[in-house]
Structure 1
Amino acid sequence: MTATLQTPPATARPVIAHVGVPGLRLVRSEFRKITTTNAWWLFGLASVFFTGFALFINMSEAAQHLERARDTAAVFKPGRGMSAAEVAAARAEFAQLHDLPLQAVNAAGNIFTSGQFFGLLLVMLLGALVITNEFQYQTATATFLTTPRRTQVVFGKLLAVLGLGFVFWLVARVLSLTAGLIFFDNLGLTNSLGEWPVQRALIFNLVAYLLWALLGFGLGTLINSQIGAVVTAMIIYLGGFVGAIGVFSLIREYLIHEDWVLTSAVMMPSIASQVMVSPEKLYPEAAAWWVGVLVLTGWSLVAGAIGIVLNRRRDIA
């Protein structure tokens, strides 16, 4: 009698549920990479310092302008030898300088967005570092092998960059709003937060932080060298602002004697950024604030699109 031994059926391996949202895990992973380096808190301290320094400057200037606007005894006196047109222009300028509500709105817009000039540069540099750190510390290979779907990795980095921009904006605005409210309360003046120019300055100040972070992301993709990306970013931002005004002014002075030359300076991202967040015109010939929004948005979307495409196609050794 032969006994037949039957192999017991294999036990099915238990299915372990995937915990968490993949996209959010990738974003958290990118934040973790950033916070394990010294860059984030150094940049954070720099942001707080520049915000405080800008608050001191803006509140000092605002105090002078508001004191002059409150001087009801001031009388307009035209200078000798002035033409009728010059007298009219001087009278209009005098009226603006002594318009207390107008000066209060301008002061509020500047104070409540204090620190934005260097703050935008810092978030741009951080946006570039999110990408260049992968190549600097040679973690790009492990990142893409762990998550083979590059689109998810790229968008995880992109969301992390935008999240950093929001955090830096939030910290700077909490500081400036707190100091600004105390400033206006001590002067016995309205804080003008109910005025659209001030609200617009705050809203597009946030937009500027996000767009410059996106620009940095695209730049870091184009230039993998960390030093190269940082230097290029500083040239684009600082040189683009100071240099663009100088170049367009020279063109207006010596080549094309038209005001639209100075208006067209808005095509530079640094100028567009300042134009869109300024509560008043950045300079007399400056473009409208919404033109600055469109220009900076265009630059940022192009940079972000380039960053996404290159990260998806680049060979990682």
Structure 2
Amino acid sequence: MNLVRSELVKIRTTNVWWILAVVAVPLWGAAIWSAWALDPANAGETTELFGETIVAPDVAEIAATFYTAGQYIGLFFVFLLGVLLMTNEVQHSTATPTFLATPKRGSVVAAKLAAAAIVGLMWWAVGTVLNIVVGVAFLSERWGGSQLDDASVWGGIALNGVAFALWAVFGVGLGVLIRSQIGASLVAASLYFLGPLAATAGLIMLVQVAGEGVKDVMDYLPYGATNAVTGGSDSMPYWLAALVLLGYGAVTALAGTALVRRRDIA
């Protein structure tokens, strides 16, 4: 616990967290604004598009969209914060005193994972409070009810918190694996923003070759698993998607820890 508290102090006393928070505020506002475009009058309606039946979100799903607004950019910021939690140590040469104080490097990495998960949950909690304040006022005026009496809405909110914690853990794992601050940050951004596009393009080609059955592969990629965690997939239960995300963090953290133990940190 002393190690975890130490990692939380490092986050609190550096500029990274509030810089990310300041950038996140206008992006969160844009997410709320885009959620306002959802029309409850069309909830649950079905339409045909390219031969497939598309079902519009029901009222509870639209409400959950309000209460989880800002998830896309928020997940990236906690992912990046997790990456920087380790790479900052190398970049600013504070890793040496850290490992001198705690020679068991695996314990240091474990503390960073725990601290990142805590910060991810805190980010989710603040965003959720803001979303509820805005969402209740808007939904009550437009629909005559906040939909907070629906258990599925609270389920979506809670699973959103799980996603925030797991992406923060994944970020630490990536930061341990790639020591360079710039390199790890670029890989994180590419993986988060470009990865789904590349995976979708590859999946389209695979579908043409192997058939429709390969579509489920997307759920096992990081952002696909995130959608499944928050209820966006019919082919994967949320608990399995959470395990997939946790697996990404565990694999990268274990591989990175093995490298950290064997190489000179200076």
What is the TM-score normalised by the length of structure 2? 0.88
Q: Is the CA contact (8 Å cut-off) linking 1:51 and 1:176 kept in structure 2? A: no
Give the 3 Å change call, closer, same or farther, for CA 136–255 of structure 1 in structure 2.
Answer: same
Corresponding residue for residue 143 of structure 1: 98
User: Could you tell which deviates more after superposition, 172-181 or 146-155?
Assistant: 146-155
**Contact residue 47 and residue 172 of structure 1 kept, 8 A:** no
1:52 to 29, 51, 56: 29
Give the letter for the 2:214 counterpart: V
Which residue is equivalent to 2:161?
A: 206
Any idea what SS the aligned residue of 1:193 has? coil
Of the three residues 38, 53, 63, the one matched with 2:15 is 38
User: Which residues of structure 1 form unaligned runs of 5+?
Assistant: 1-22, 80-85
**Paired residues of 1:275 and 1:292 also in contact (CA < 8 A):** yes
- 1:197 Cα offset (Å): 3.0
Deviation at 1:147, TM superposition (A): 2.5
Q: 1:182 to 1:205 in 2, by over 3 A?
A: same
Name the structure 2 match of 1:268.
221
Gaps of 5+ in 2: none
In the alignment, is residue 220 of structure 1 matched against residue 168 of structure 2?
no
Q: Which residue of 2 aligns with 1:179?
A: 134
Closer, same or farther in 2 for the Cα pair 1:312/1:161, shift >3 Å?
farther
- Paired letter, 2:76: L
| Cα pair 1:240 1:271 within 8 Å, conserved | no
* Alignment-derived partner of residue 103 in structure 1: 58
Give the share of equivalent positions with the same residue, in percent: 35
Q: How many residues are treated as equivalent by the alignment?
A: 263
5 Å-filtered alignment, 1:92-171, equals 103-171=58-126
1:301 aligns with 2:250: yes
* Contact persistence 1:217–1:307 (CA under 8 A): no
Question: Contact 1:129–1:226 at 8 Å: present in 2 too?
Answer: yes
Q: Quick one: distance in 1 between partners of 2:8 and 2:88?
A: 12
Contact 1:47 1:118 in 2 (8 A): yes
RMSD: 2.6
The alpha-carbon distance between structure 1 residues 189 and 146, as it changes in their structure 2 partners (threshold 3 A), is: same
CA pair 198-231 structure 1, distance change in 2 beyond 3 A: same
Name the structure 2 match of 1:250.
205
Could you give the per-residue CA deviations for residues 273-294 of structure 1, whole angstroms, max 9, x where no partner exists? 122214x54xxxx623434333
Query: Which residue does the alignment assign to 1:16?
Result: none
Higher helix share: 2
